[in-house]
DNA sequence: TATTCAACTGAATCGAAGT
DNA sequence: GACTTCGATTCAGTTGAAT
């Protein structure tokens, strides 16, 4: 079976998953039923009625029934996930603990639990609990110590004002224009997620061209965000009404131009430059002095790109490590050369070579 | 067996719990082992070593072993909890899902999951995940639809600047002076919780004089916060060193004076004032007009404290509900009387009576 | 005295490619 | 699979000394 870049499968989640080949998707995002178990009607202080999630698809006979359904779809997701793929599942305290245990028991390796802090949650009208102001996402790799998963660390850091992205994300609910409406103008889906949430998930854990699978597609937020970000997607949805609205919605999405999809790349991915190449390029000469950050240790450059410091000699990394009696050292940031404006890390010289200025 | 207001039991958690009588504690706070499953040493970018949690008490052979331990102590906690008591358990993604499922399976009814957002978490040094910047607390009642549990809603609201307290709490780690040290000046416990966290938990979910049980007492943060807030406590701790430090620490705690323990009371707990009493007190007279919030509906007061609006008559609540065609109505906030400064809710008159000004 | 800076640290499932 | 090599990677808060 072959799937195009935009695939919506209308049908039962388990049956549709069974039709997907092993190790064929890069990222799974799942927003399963929460099994809410609500009581009677809830009225606001002004007597208006809260539009509760009472849909048939959220009804389960027992915790056992919910667990067995959860394990079934998670197991299939794990099968279709590539070895370097990851899965995200969102939930609330009603179901997320059961989901988390299933994730662990099936052999996934949890990477983070991420908190979606709602900036505008519904208050607790009765004053009986804390305002339920967040939902929880579980992010997991296919297995412990498996292949390296995709995590666009630097893109996330950039998106968070140059600070590491934390495990708590503050985002508003999906409201207003973004909320998909029926022909009658009513909200089409009771639990539509904000596209900003999916944007961050997809940006963090996939690359352009990757395949994103959403087994509970609803009105297609995952598809819309994936298309916008230049990813392919497969969405599975049982309710024909939701699927139709999703198709219509996604058709209107304009994907970002390829150039706009570039994100901050990891330094690990940049081409490797041996230190010797800095000497070959004439940016440093044999005999030149290199200094540690504070300047009290001095090493000399040799023609082959090795350093000498007293009795010690070896690569910039090894000599740096030995000089500090440390187990390891990044020589590029440890060693400095003398400039007009004081000491500067030799990493600046590497940047010149990479830029073709060497 | 009789326990004083400050009890520390040195010994195995399960054995000690077995010695406590049924339905004898009002609140349980539990900070169990997290079962971290860390890998090798972790070095910071400056090559210093992270002081990891590698204590023997955090080691479990398998998820099954952890689950069985978790269910055992949770079951005992449920037995010793009063019917109107609640339990709090704190954990991270390593264990909290397993704890949550055990809580649900044992018949507890989850009220909230609360996120402790750390303002100063340890970064992710390797750039491989999101900064793990939070922990999760589960708050649960003994059973669904059981006796009304203690929740000091108004005290929480007051503590949160007149806004409902949300399910995410931003608090710093336990550091500096607060961190308990050994005689050698080292940190005594690897995972000491901030007292501010316990302060909020105890203030939210117990009353002065209540008994708070902590089955994993450690260096006694729960005891210190409980004593400060005028609650009794029972702490269970296996490690003699921790217990000794806890005793010493708690001995130095000065409890708040009884008057300082008064918190914002619930309106529900205030003495009930029948509307007729407002008329009796002369704050309104028979025949006076009452208005709905926007003023377009007018009712008249009768001598017995009933209202008349056209064909309708009855209590302030019933007439208010019928006037709006609503199932219910709080007449105290719905009906307004005319004052120099415009319309004001009749709840202001009730406040006057309560204050003895009627 | 006010301000600056270096050093230290906290429940962490913490690398990847080549030989 | 074990081992080696290269080299990438940190934020908020506190403490205490130096300026």
pLDDT single digits (tens) A346-355:
988 988 888 8
B136 touches chain A (CB under 8 A): yes
Retrieve residue A129's tokens: 């609990």
How many whole angstroms from its chain centre is CA B148? 14
Least confident piece of the model among A109-118, B68-77, B227-236, B338-347: B338-347
Question: Looking at strand C, which nucleotides approach a protein CB closer than 7 A?
Answer: 8-17
pLDDT at B110 over 90: yes
Please answer whether residues A218 and A30 qualify as being in contact, where contact means their C-beta atoms are separated by less than 8 angstroms.
no
How many whole angstroms from its chain centre is CA B103? 17
Task: Report the candidate in A122, A3, A163 with the shortest Cα–Cα distance to residue B119.
Answer: A163
pLDDT at B291 over 60: yes
Please state the φ and ψ torsions of residue A32, each to the nearest 5 degrees: -75, 170
Q: In the prediction, which pLDDT does A295 show?
A: 81
State how far the Cα of A242 lies from the Cα of A247, in Å rounded to an integer: 9
If one compares A4 and A245, the residue with the highest pLDDT of the two is: A245
Q: In the prediction, which pLDDT does A6 show?
A: 97
Kindly report the pTM of this predicted structure. 0.89
State how far the Cα of A178 lies from the Cα of A175, in Å rounded to an integer: 6
Kindly report the average pLDDT of chain B as a whole number: 91
B 249-288 near A (Cβ less than 8 A) = 266
What is the sign, positive or negative, of the torsion defined by CA atoms of A40, A42, A47, A48?
negative
Asked whether residue A273, judged by its CB, lies under 7 Å from any atom of the DNA or RNA strand D, the reply is yes
Task: Report the candidate in B6, B1, B3 with the shortest Cα–Cα distance to residue B217.
Answer: B6
Task: Report the candidate in A36, A144, A32 with the shortest Cα–Cα distance to residue A89.
Answer: A32
Please answer whether residues B172 and B199 qualify as being in contact, where contact means their C-beta atoms are separated by less than 8 angstroms.
no
B153 touches chain A (CB under 8 A): yes
Element (H, E) at B143: none
B160 touches chain A (CB under 8 A): no
State how far the Cα of A299 lies from the Cα of A282, in Å rounded to an integer: 18
If one compares A327 and A6, the residue with the highest pLDDT of the two is: A6
Please answer whether residues B53 and B38 qualify as being in contact, where contact means their C-beta atoms are separated by less than 8 angstroms.
yes
State how far the Cα of A259 lies from the Cα of A262, in Å rounded to an integer: 6
A63 touches chain B (CB under 8 A): yes
pLDDT interval class at B264 (50, 70, 90): low
Q: How many CB pairs under 8 A join A and B?
A: 145
Q: Report the pLDDT averaged over residues A226-247.
A: 97
pLDDT interval class at B2 (50, 70, 90): low
Helix, strand or coil, per DSSP, at residue A213? strand
Distance to chain A for B242, nearest Cα, Å: 30
State how far the Cα of A246 lies from the Cα of A328, in Å rounded to an integer: 52
Count of C-beta atoms within a 10 Å radius of residue A184: 6
Distance A253 CA to C19 C1' (A): 49
Highest-confidence segment of A106-120, A332-346, B328-342: A106-120
Q: Report the pLDDT averaged over residues B319-345.
A: 85
Q: In the prediction, which pLDDT does A52 show?
A: 84
Q: Measuring from the CA of residue A272 to each C1', which nucleotide is nearest? A: D6
pLDDT at B130 over 90: yes
Retrieve residue A300's tokens: 């000399």
Please answer whether residues A193 and A220 qualify as being in contact, where contact means their C-beta atoms are separated by less than 8 angstroms.
no
pLDDT at A226 over 80: yes
pLDDT interval class at B62 (50, 70, 90): very high
Q: Report the pLDDT averaged over residues B229-258.
A: 95
Radius of gyration of chain A (CA): 26
pLDDT at A333 over 90: no
If one compares A89 and B302, the residue with the highest pLDDT of the two is: A89
Return the bridge partners of A90, or none. Answer: A137
Q: If you count them, how many residues does chain B have?
A: 358
State how far the Cα of B350 lies from the Cα of B358, in Å rounded to an integer: 9
A103 touches chain B (CB under 8 A): yes
If one compares A310 and A12, the residue with the highest pLDDT of the two is: A12
Q: In the prediction, which pLDDT does A202 show?
A: 96
Burial A275-304, CB ≥16 within 10 A → b, else e: bbebbeeebbeeeeebbbeeeebebebeee
Q: In the prediction, which pLDDT does B358 show?
A: 43
Which residues does chain B have within 8 Å of residue A36's beta carbon, measured at their own beta carbons? none
Q: Report the pLDDT averaged over residues B86-99.
A: 98
Asked whether residue A230, judged by its CB, lies under 7 Å from any atom of the DNA or RNA strand D, the reply is no
pLDDT tens, residue by residue, A155-196: 999 888 888 999 999 999 999 999 999 999 999 999 999 999
Q: Report the pLDDT averaged over residues B105-122.
A: 96
What is the sign, positive or negative, of the torsion defined by CA atoms of A244, A89, A211, A161?
positive
Q: Report the pLDDT averaged over residues A137-155.
A: 93
Distance to chain A for B51, nearest Cα, Å: 17
Please answer whether residues B86 and B144 qualify as being in contact, where contact means their C-beta atoms are separated by less than 8 angstroms.
no
pLDDT interval class at B265 (50, 70, 90): low
Element (H, E) at A248: helix A240-251
Which residues does chain A have within 8 Å of residue B153's beta carbon, measured at their own beta carbons? 127-128
Sheet holding B232-237, edge to edge: B6-10, B232-237, B211-214, B25-30, B81-91, B134-141, B109-118, B168-171
Which residues does chain A have within 8 Å of residue B158's beta carbon, measured at their own beta carbons? none
Q: Report the pLDDT averaged over residues B291-308.
A: 86
State the burial class of residue B251 (Cβ atoms within 10 Å of its Cβ: 0-12, 13-18, 19+).
Answer: exposed
A 209-238 near B (Cβ less than 8 A) = none
State how far the Cα of A346 lies from the Cα of A339, in Å rounded to an integer: 11
Pairing between strand B289-291 and B298-301? antiparallel
Percent of chain A with pLDDT over 90: 66
pLDDT at A357 over 80: no
Kindly report the average pLDDT of chain A as a whole number: 92
Please answer whether residues A187 and A245 qualify as being in contact, where contact means their C-beta atoms are separated by less than 8 angstroms.
no
Which residues does chain A have within 8 Å of residue B101's beta carbon, measured at their own beta carbons? 97-98, 101
Most B-contacting residue of A67, A87, A136, A167 (CB-CB within 10 A), to test interface: A167
Pairing between strand B232-237 and B211-214? parallel
Q: In the prediction, which pLDDT does A343 show?
A: 82
pLDDT at B154 over 80: yes
Burial B206-221, CB ≥16 within 10 A → b, else e: bbeebbbbbbbbbbbb
Q: In the prediction, which pLDDT does B17 show?
A: 98
pLDDT interval class at B216 (50, 70, 90): very high
| Residue listed under structure tokens 């000089």 | A323
State how far the Cα of A221 lies from the Cα of A261, in Å rounded to an integer: 19
Q: Where are the beta strands (DSSP E) in A125-198?
A: 134-141, 168-171
Q: Do A45 and B266 touch (CB under 8 A)?
A: no
B75 touches chain A (CB under 8 A): no
Q: Report the pLDDT averaged over residues B61-79.
A: 97
């Amino acid at each position: 079976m072959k799937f195009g870049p935009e695939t919506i499968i209308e049908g039962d989640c388990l049956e549709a998953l069974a039709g997907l080949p092993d190790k064929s998707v890069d990222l799974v995002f799942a927003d399963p039923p929460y099994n809410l178990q609500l009581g009677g009607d809830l009225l606001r202080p002004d007597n208006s009625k809260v539009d509760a999630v009472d849909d048939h698809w959220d009804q389960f006979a027992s915790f056992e029934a919910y667990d067995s359904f959860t394990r079934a779809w998670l197991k299939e997701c794990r099968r279709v996930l590539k070895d370097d793929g990851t899965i995200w599942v969102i939930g609330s305290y009603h179901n997320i603990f059961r989901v988390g245990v299933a994730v662990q028991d099936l052999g996934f390796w949890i990477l983070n639990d991420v908190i979606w802090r709602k900036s505008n949650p519904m208050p607790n009208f009765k004053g009986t609990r804390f305002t339920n102001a967040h939902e929880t996402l579980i992010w997991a790799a296919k297995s412990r110590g498996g292949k390296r998963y995709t995590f666009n660390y630097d893109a996330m850091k950039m998106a968070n004002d140059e600070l590491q992205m934390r495990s708590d994300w503050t985002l508003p609910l999906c409201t207003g224009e973004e909320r998909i409406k029926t022909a009658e103008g009513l909200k089409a889906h009771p639990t539509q997620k904000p596209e900003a949430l999916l944007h961050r998930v997809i940006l963090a854990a996939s690359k352009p061209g990757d395949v994103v699978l959403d087994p509970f597609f609803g009105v297609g937020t995952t598809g819309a965000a994936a298309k916008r970000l230049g990813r392919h997607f497969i969405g599975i949805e049982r309710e024909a009404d939701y699927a139709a609205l999703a198709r219509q919605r996604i058709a209107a999405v304009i994907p970002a131009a390829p150039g706009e999809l570039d994100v901050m790349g990891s330094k690990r991915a940049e081409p490797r430059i041996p230190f010797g190449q800095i000497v070959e390029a004439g940016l440093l000469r044999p005999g030149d002095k290199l200094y540690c950050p504070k300047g009290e240790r001095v090493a000399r450059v040799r023609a082959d790109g090795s350093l000498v410091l007293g009795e010690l000699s070896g690569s910039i990394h090894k000599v740096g490590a030995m000089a500090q009696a440390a187990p390891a050292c990044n020589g590029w940031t440890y060693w400095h050369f003398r400039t007009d404006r004081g000491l500067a890390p030799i990493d600046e010289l590497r940047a010149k070579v990479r830029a073709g200025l060497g």
